[in-house]
Amino acid sequence: GEFRLESSFNPNILVKELLDYDKIKQVTMTLYVQDTPLASTTKASYTATTTVVVHITDTDNRPPWFQPCTEHEFGTSKVCVNSGYEGTVNFNETS
């Protein structure tokens, strides 16, 4: 899974690995707790469950970027120019 608990005594939910919004947009987990250790032979006297839903946010939503890049600004837009590619960009055209 993508998440883990900080410890068995600290239920903070931590991210184990980078999350890719293009692959995962939401994760649903069931958190189960009891008042006795899992390895205990004693029956748990109190238990509880809850559902945790994590919504992944897309934070790197930019167009393809060629490397290496010489960045140029045109108004509020940035254009990446690479000497291996040639072309013309007309900001007035729409598709």
Instruction: Give per-residue pLDDT as tens, 19-51.
Output: 888 899 999 999 888 888 777 777 778 889 999
Structural domain containing residue 39: 3-55
Q: Which of 22, 25, 43, 24 is nearest to 34 (CA)?
A: 43
Q: Report the half-sphere exposure of 44 (CA within 13 A, side-chain side).
A: 11
Residue 70 is assigned to a structural domain of this protein: no
Residue 33 is assigned to a structural domain of this protein: yes
Q: What is the reported pTM?
A: 0.53
Measured CA distances, 91 to 56, 78, 88 (Å): 32, 12, 10
- Pinpoint the alpha helices (H) of the chain: none
Q: What is the pLDDT of residue 93?
A: 66
Check whether 84 has a pLDDT greater than 80. Answer: no
- What domain count does the chain have? 1
Residue 75 is assigned to a structural domain of this protein: no
Q: Which pLDDT band holds residue 78 (cuts at 50, 70, 90)?
A: confident
